Amino acid sequence: MPIARAQTMSAYKEAYKNSIENPEEFWFEEGKRLRWSKPYSVARDCSYAPNNHHIQWFADGELNVSDNCLDRHLDNLAHKTAIIWEGDNPTESKSISFGELHQQVSKFGNVLKSLGIIKGDRVVLYLPMIIEAAIVMLACTRIGAVHSIVFGGFSPAALASRIQDSQAKLVITSNVSRRGGKAIPLKDNVDQALSLPGTDSVKNVITIQRTQEKTTLQEKDVWYHDLMAAAESDCPAEPMNAEDPLFILYTSGSTGKPKGVLHTTGGYLLHANMTFEHIFAIESDSVFWCTADIGWITGHSYVIYGVLSNGCTTVMFEGVPTYPQADRFWQVIDKYNVTHFYTAPTAIRSLIRAGDEHLRTSSRDSLKVLGSVGEPIDPASWRWFHKLVGKGRCPVVDTWWQTETGGILITPLAETTPLKPGSATFPFYGIEPAIVDSNGQEIENEGSGNLIIKQAWPGQARSLYKDHIRFLETYFSTYKESYYTGDGCYRDGDGYYWITGRVDDVINVSGHRIDTAEIEAVLNDHPSVVESAVVGFPHDIKGQGIYAYVILDPQVNTVVTASDLNTWVRQRIGVIASLDKVHFTANLPKTRSGKVMRRILRKLAGGETDNLGDISTLLDPTVIEDLKKEIQ
Ligand code: PRX
């Protein structure tokens, strides 16, 4: 039997100990949370040994994700609301029951088949937060197609590179996306992306008509509504092997090329399903609102899969926190009696900035649990969230995890774990974190270092799409037989974990992971740029801002401004990579071996000009003085 929700810390500790000491037995029982068309005989077959690295969960079992999210609930919950949709404009909203969603998903499963999409084919989704996005995701899982969602804020070039890498057969988009009262031309972006080389794998584009705005259809284009009108509604869920690919999600690495993180079917769904119920203390009448976009892993696991597989109502919000006014989140909470509200520190910080006035127009009395994800939450923002938004009644679960981890790994259990503002507290069941110093030596008890995870867990990524070697190198080569997170962490004397941020060249801007090397590569492509170095610096709202040091080519006579370079980057990556500061300079601090000393650039960008640490290996220390003067 799967374990019951821990009501006390001693119950949590006991179950946790068992999950670590007897992982096979523990996960064998937890696997029963899902419906299997063919039961598994073994839960866990994992080894991180370099010569025998493999991660397999429930490997001889078969199941289907859409069956678990929909069909499984039809006997009891067919009329229950599955999704409440709130449009960008407050006058637009609708909802769909589990029964209706099942029907729409089945129809779209048939649409996919009619376009020749078969099990294992990749389908790229470039969509706003609309109900159809959920329909399309679930329909892919129903027939065994592998979805790869590209966040709508990415540029046509970034979309094209993800299409190229995944060799997708189909792209699904909408004519526009509406955010903050503005229309974003998603379909035009797709057209531009498909005009770029390497995108010929795409045979069709399905467009959802989000608004009546005029849309020009190309040769490969088909309207979603036309296809759906002609589709049959009977589409049996394809039995999938637990280790069959479920989705690819591209995320930033630290080497300039986005990584296609690959998740598989059984382990991922189990992890999303179990963490959701236990961490958020979900009840049968909960209304769960996660504000993340489906283009990110949080949207996958806690807008769609974890929520629907538990038969819980999920809220999908198309808009932004401050449109039409700063009270929008609170209005939506009251409108739908939201019980669980899960958001990002950057949104909390921007609302703190807007003053407390906006909290007066709502009661938020329906709230029971608050959650935070995406970046470290500072204690002051945590307290504001707890005291003002939740009126001191609702626990705040600060959940630490990553695209690669599939679901939450370090977190409080709502209503059970004693909280410390700013700490993600303790590991979830089956998760064995450790803190190691730069020599790989494990730090026992209190101390800081790099965070690694020792044991395998069901929801973890299995590979990087078509690049398993990079997968092994990135996550399993830094520390012996452990998963390397790339995050720094402090464990206090009470055993609480405090995530301190990335220790690699990835920066976290408004909760979005950005690879500094990717921005540098784009900047270096500019005809006037000779070299660049991009680092993060502390930013009041975004958590980290993007600081670009740029050396211009003296031979090129064209005048290039910071704004030109910003536009250049936004066009090639997307708005999320907007440069906050551009620092034109003549030299970068380099070691004798020619490596840029990023540690120094980070400190200078953060306004720290004194304690720069060891600069004895610098080729030319005068560069530092020049940079300091320029900053002043
Ligand atoms: O640095 C950590 C930070 O976000 C990174 C993962 O980013 P991504 O893969 O985009 O997934 C974000 C949503 C899960 C981590 O390496 N991060 C995420 N959650 C927290 C966090 N840092 C501190 N506290 C958190 N709760």
Is the per-residue pLDDT at 504 higher than 90? no
pLDDT in tens, 308-355: 999 999 999 999 999 999 999 999 999 999 999 999 999 999 999 999
Residue ID of nearest Cα to ligand 1 atom 14? 402
> Where exactly are the structural domains of the chain?
97-246, 507-631
Pocket residues: Cβ below 6 A from ligand 1: 251, 297-298, 373-376, 398-403, 424, 485-487, 499, 501-502, 508, 513
Specify whether the CB–CB gap between 321 and 291 falls below 8 A: yes
* Residue 4 backbone dihedrals phi, psi, to 5 degrees: -85, 165
Residue nearest to atom 24 of ligand 1 (CA): 376
Q: Which atom of ligand 1 is nearest to the CA of 398?
A: 26
Q: Which of 150, 305, 400 to mutate to test the pocket of ligand 1 (most atoms within 8 A of CB)?
A: 400
Alpha carbon distances (Å) from 127 to 31, 360, 416, 494: 32, 33, 37, 44
For domain 507-631, the CATH class is: alpha beta
Which residue, judged by its Cα, is nearest atom 4 of ligand 1?
Answer: 374
- The pLDDT, as a whole number, for residue 558 is 86
- End-to-end Cα distance, the chain: 64
d(CA 484, CA 489): 12
Atom 21 in ligand 1: residue holding the nearest Cα? 375
Domain 97-246: state its class.
alpha beta
What's the rounded Cα separation, in Å, for the pair 463 and 406? 12
* Contact assessment for residue 319 and residue 328, using Cβ atoms and an 8 Å cutoff: yes
Residue 312: Cβ-neighbour burial (10 angstroms; 0-12, 13-18, 19+):
buried
**For residue 399, how far is its CA from the centre of ligand 1 (angstroms)?**
8
Burial 394-405 (b: 16+ CB within 10 A, else e): bbbbbbbbbbbb
C-alpha 373 to ligand 1 mean position (Å): 7
DSSP H helices, 337-481, are 345-353, 379-384, 468-476
- Integer-rounded Cα Rg, in Å, for the chain is 24
User: Can you give the pTM of this predicted structure?
Assistant: 0.95
For ligand 1, atom 10: residue with the closest CA:
513
Task: Tell which atom from ligand 1 comes closest to the C-alpha of 424.
Answer: 26
pLDDT at 439: 87
Q: How far, in Å, is the centroid of ligand 1 from the Cα of 375?
A: 5
β-bridge mates for residue 122, sequence order: 146
Closest C-alpha residue for ligand 1 atom 5: 402
556-569 per-position pLDDT tens digit: 888 999 999 999 99
Distances (CA, A) of 26 to 22, 42, 65, 119, 279: 6, 11, 22, 31, 17
Residue located nearest, by CA, to atom 22 of ligand 1: 375
Tell me the per-residue pLDDT of 450-499, one tens digit each, with 9 for 90 and over: 999 999 999 999 999 999 999 999 999 999 999 999 999 999 999 999 99
**CA 401 – ligand 1 centroid, Å:** 5
Q: What is the pLDDT of residues 278-301, one digit of tens each?
A: 999 999 999 999 999 999 999 999
- Token reading at 68: 């678990």
Element of type H or E holding 563: helix 562-572
Burial class (CB in 10 A: 0-12, 13-18, 19+), 577: buried
Measure the CA–CA gap between 314 and 223, rounded to whole angstroms. Answer: 27
Q: Helix 622-631 and helix 598-605: axis angle, to 10°?
A: 20
Distance 209 CA to ligand 1 centre (A): 33
